[in-house]
């Protein structure tokens, strides 16, 4: 039985996802829910308040800072 190694057939440049593919913001408004989820947190009233404050101080860039 052979084992499949899909990464072995790729060139080194193909192993990483390019930055332009990773960023999900499309120019639309960033919601507190977006920030909470990007931070890997559960949507709770406390986390939503944290995200609102973060958006007030950092603007939409708050989401970009959390994403890879």
Give the number of C-alpha atoms closer than 13 A to the C-alpha of residue 43, restricted to the C-beta side. Answer: 7
Judged against a pLDDT cut of 90, whether residue 8 lies above it is answered with: no
Highest mean pLDDT, choosing among 2-6, 38-42, 61-65: 38-42
Average pLDDT over residues 56-60: 94
Judged against a pLDDT cut of 60, whether residue 23 lies above it is answered with: no
Which pLDDT band, with edges at 50, 70 and 90, does 5 fall under?
low
At residue 14, what are phi and psi to the nearest 5 degrees?
Answer: -90, -5
Cβ 55 vs Cβ 35: under 8 Å = yes
């Amino acid at each position: 039985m052979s084992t499949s190694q899909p990464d072995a057939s790729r060139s080194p440049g193909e192993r990483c996802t390019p930055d332009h593919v990773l960023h999900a913001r499309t120019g639309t408004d960033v919601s507190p829910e977006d920030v909470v989820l990007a931070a890997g947190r559960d949507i709770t009233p406390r986390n939503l308040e944290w995200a609102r404050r973060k958006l007030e101080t950092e603007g939409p860039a708050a989401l970009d800072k959390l994403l890879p």
